[in-house]
Amino acid sequence: MDPHLLRTFVAVARCGSFSRAASELGYTQSAVSQHIAALEADLGTSLVNRRPVVPTPEGQRLLEHAGPILLRLDAARAEITKMVQAPPDRLVVGLSPLAFMADIVAANHVRVLPRAEVVTGVAQGTLDLGLVDGIAAPSDPLNLPDVAPMATVGVAERPLVVVFPHDHPLARRKRINLADLADAQWIDAPESAIPLAQLRSASGTDGFRAALRYEGTHVPGLLQMAAAGHGLILLPQPMVDGLPAVPITRLVHRVELISIPSSGVSTIPTH
Amino acid sequence: MDPHLLRTFVAVARCGSFSRAASELGYTQSAVSQHIAALEADLGTSLVNRRPVVPTPEGQRLLEHAGPILLRLDAARAEITKMVQAPPDRLVVGLSPLAFMADIVAANHVRVLPRAEVVTGVAQGTLDLGLVDGIAAPSDPLNLPDVAPMATVGVAERPLVVVFPHDHPLARRKRINLADLADAQWIDAPESAIPLAQLRSASGTDGFRAALRYEGTHVPGLLQMAAAGHGLILLPQPMVDGLPAVPITRLVHRVELISIPSSGVSTIPTH
DNA sequence: ATCAGTTACGCTTGGCGTAATGATC
DNA sequence: GATCATTACGCCAAGCGTAACTGAT
């Protein structure tokens, strides 16, 4: 199970084609075919069905492992090469959209990225620091995927609110339980609000089905949609201005600063 | 960063010697030397100091990654080979010492193993099921290392108690906060009580220093030591019989059943 | 002088590309 | 017959072992 073979395998699975995977990786079709054949011989099973090229159940299981393995391999390499090179004089900070906070952002060069890319970016060393947001119980840590051992520091916790349209029957409640909203109409806006997947894992249910999907990162636009009644969204309280919004019980919106431990970054510039 | 190279690297680091690592892996010393040289050339740093053979800081960092990577590689292979073979007619269940429960154990073939080995055993397929215990907030999951995606089910939660000697000033308290005991004298008994490392991570402090270390798995013996005043220990309440024991606030002893998801094991024999 | 890691060197094998073959729509 | 995966084959390089070498104790 050479990493090269795994890399080709995930490329094949993603592309759905040997030849496309080959050109993407800079191999010939032949080499890709041999890679897959080698993996299949090694594991004693077929991993992809051909025509169409689709992973078998065994292949799907392998895919679940291959991603994290390759990610961690990259993370290890990145960490060590960083230790060798002189520390950069400019920090690159990755932000998930809702982790934005004016006072922290002022001093550094930042890039706004999807949540997962912030985590992998820090792990792989393309980012020096990451600020990721998510939901958690008060003063509990976020449930981040541990692609690599990371140092995390909570930097903010704000109330988590659900945005209702003006005329919604629950809009005047003082607080509300997340589980009570599992069957409501939701907008899935993974880039500009809390992704519904996080609600499911936080509540342990599989409700929170999306009536609508919003790919943009423009929060005011999303707020208008929610206010107009197209569906519910969850946001940290400071980002909701004047609209009817009810705090969620026992959950907060939390922002964490993540970094590779003891990689030279010990203190954080505060202005 | 071929897995073979990583494997020899961890062997070298563990053995503290190229030649011992070589004989352990079935290579010649020369091959091991070439492996290390290849890794060092690839990463652009020296990874071990020679004479004596000790990892450099960069090597230590690599070691932190290499273990999990190799473990997950093995886990992936084991999972897939298990999918291919017919399911075994006998389940092998791994138990961490304090996860023992008579009603579950009756029907299966079990092996009692240290906590970490239960997790890795399930991941690598040497165990079909694992029962691991630990401490957590009530109805919260255990904080298990995620070497592979695992299905976990909570199977028991009992009060967590600290065992005091008869004359201890706190022995008559109704309940006690774990943090208040950080500076007490503890017995570290990782095989037969809650390891102190778990207390530190649960409380977020670095207290709970061991006055004594007990390697055995014989709980009654450990209880006698605690009763005699050699130090405090933490146990699930049902295992403490008649001795002065005070429940810990906001923490419980939890047992979880872990398995590889949808690997054919959907229900558990109940008799 | 001995022990332990490194380097040199030859051999084998693995792995890639080119090109021919085979299968599927 | 066009497209895409597989097989055949030749070539190069990676990787192992044997053995000579180097440095440290």
A7 contacts in chain B (CB < 8 Å) = none
Distances (CA, A) of B38 to A85, B1, B44, B45, B47: 19, 9, 10, 11, 11
**Segment among A165-174, B68-77, B245-254 with least mean pLDDT:** A165-174
Does residue B185 sit in helix, strand or coil? Answer: coil
- Contact assignment for A80 to B61 by CB distance below 8 Å: yes
| B46 touches A at CB < 8 Å | no
Tell me the per-residue pLDDT of B81-107, one tens digit each, with 9 for 90 and over.
888 876 766 778 888 888 876 566 656
How far: A141 CA to D13 C1' (Å)?
49
Residue B265 has pLDDT above 80, yes or no: no
| pLDDT interval class at A200 (50, 70, 90) | confident
- Choose among B167, B162, B172, B164: nearest CA to B193: B162
Distances (CA, A) of A123 to A129, A150, A202, B181: 10, 8, 24, 36
In a mutagenesis test of the B interface, which of A61, A201, A250 is the best target, namely the one with the most B β-carbons within 10 Å? A61
CA of B104 to C1' of D15 (A): 50
Q: Do A44 and B84 touch (CB under 8 A)?
A: yes
Q: What percent of chain B has a predicted confidence (pLDDT) above 90?
A: 31
Q: Do A1 and B3 touch (CB under 8 A)?
A: yes
| CA distance, residue B21 to nearest chain A CA (Å) | 21
User: Is any Cβ of chain B less than 8 angstroms from the Cβ of A149?
Assistant: yes
State how far the Cα of B246 lies from the Cα of A154, in Å rounded to an integer: 32
- B57 at interface of A, judged by CB pairs closer than 8 A: yes
User: Measuring from the CA of residue A48 to each C1', which nucleotide is nearest?
Assistant: D5
The alpha carbon of A11 is separated from its chain's Cα centroid by a whole number of angstroms, namely 20
Beta-carbon contacts of B149 under 8 Å, excluding residues fewer than 6 positions away, are A64, B261
pLDDT at A85 over 70: yes
Which residues, at least 6 apart from A263, have a Cβ–Cβ distance to it below 8 Å? A79, A82, A83
Q: Are strands B54-55 and B48-49 parallel, antiparallel or unpaired?
A: antiparallel
Is the domain covering B3-84 a CATH 1.10.10.10 domain?
Answer: yes
How many Cβ contacts (< 8 angstroms) between chains A and B? Answer: 77
Residue B127 backbone phi and psi in degrees, to 5:
-120, 140
Which positions in strand C are less than 7 Å from the protein's CB atoms? 4-8, 15-20, 24-25
From chain B, pick out residues whose CB is under 8 angstroms from the CB of A44: 81, 84
User: Nearest by CB to B148, which of A3, A58, A65?
Assistant: A65
Nearest-CA neighbor of A76 among A125, A129, A117? Answer: A125
| Residue B159 structure tokens | 């009060």
Per the CB < 8 A criterion, the answer to whether A229 and A157 are in contact is no
> What is the mean pLDDT of the segment spanning A199-219?
83
Extents of the domains making up chain B: 3-84, 90-271
Interface of A with B in 73-132 (CB under 8 A): 73, 75-77, 79-81, 83-84
- Our measurement of CA A23 to C1' D17, in angstroms, reads 38
For A237-267, what is each residue's pLDDT tens digit? 888 877 778 899 889 999 999 988 764 444 4
- pLDDT of A184 reads 85
The confidence score (pLDDT) of residue B63 equals: 93
DSSP-derived letter for residue B51 is: T
Max mean pLDDT range (A31-35, A78-82, A205-209, B201-205): A31-35
Strands B151-163 and B233-236: antiparallel
pLDDT at residue B269 greater than cutoff 80: no
Residues contacting B173, CB < 8 A, separation 6+: B246
pTM: predicted TM-score of the whole model, two decimal places: 0.79
Q: Cβ contact (<8 Å) for A62 and B44?
A: no
| Mean pLDDT within B137-161 | 85
Q: What per-residue confidence (pLDDT) applies to A264? A: 45
DSSP B237: G
Q: CB A66 to CB B76 under 8 A?
A: yes
Alpha-carbon span B228 to B235, nearest angstrom = 16
Instruction: Please check whether residue B45 touches A, CB under 8 A.
Output: yes
| Mean pLDDT to the nearest integer, B188-207 | 85
Q: 10 Å Cβ neighbour count for A260?
A: 25
A90-271: CATH class = alpha beta
| Nearest CA among B128, B140, B147, B86 for reference residue B259 | B128
What is the Cα–Cα distance from B129 to B104, expressed in whole angstroms?
A: 12
d(CA A156, CA A158): 6
Within 10 angstroms of residue B106's Cβ, the number of other Cβ atoms is 10
Say which residue the tokens 């990610």 belong to.
A71
**Which of A164-178, B32-46, B254-268 holds the top average pLDDT?**
B32-46
Check B1 against A146: CB less than 8 A apart.
no
Share of chain A above pLDDT 90, in %: 30
Tokens of A94: 């990755």
Which positions ≥6 away from A160 have C-beta within 8 Å? A135, A194, A234, A235, A236, A237, A247, A248, A251, A252, A253
pLDDT at A35: 94
Whether the CA torsion B119, B123, B127, B130 is positive or negative: it is positive
Q: Is the CB of residue A121 less than 8 Å from the CB of residue A94?
A: yes
Q: A61-99 b/e with 16+ CB inside 10 Å = b?
A: bbbebbebbbbbbbbbbbbbebbeeeeeeebbbbbbbbb
Nearest to B72 among A44, A68, A79 (CB): A68
Q: Which of residues 13-32 of A touch B (CB under 8 A)?
A: none
Put simply, the answer to whether B1 touches A68 (Cβ < 8 Å) is no
End-to-end CA distance of chain A: 48
Tokens linked to B108: 């299966």
The pLDDT of residue A206 is 80
What's the whole-number mean pLDDT along residues A194-223?
A: 84
Q: Is B251 helix (H, G, I), strand (E, B) or coil?
A: strand
Distances (CA, A) of A164 to A116, A203, A233, A247: 28, 20, 8, 11
On the question of pLDDT at B37 being above 60, the answer is: yes
A146: contact with B, CB 8 A cutoff: yes
Residue labelled with tokens 């961490």: B96
User: Which structure tokens are listed for A29?
Assistant: 């079709």
Distance (Å) of CA B15 to CA A237, B20, B53, B226: 55, 6, 9, 36
pLDDT confidence bin for A102, thresholds 50/70/90:
low
* Cβ pair A43:B83 closer than 8 A: no
Strand pairing partners for B257? B131, B153
With a pLDDT cut of 70, the percent of chain B lying above it is 92
CB A263 within 8 A of CB A82: yes
With H, G, I as helix, E, B as strand and everything else as coil, classify residue A232: strand
pLDDT of residue B262: 63
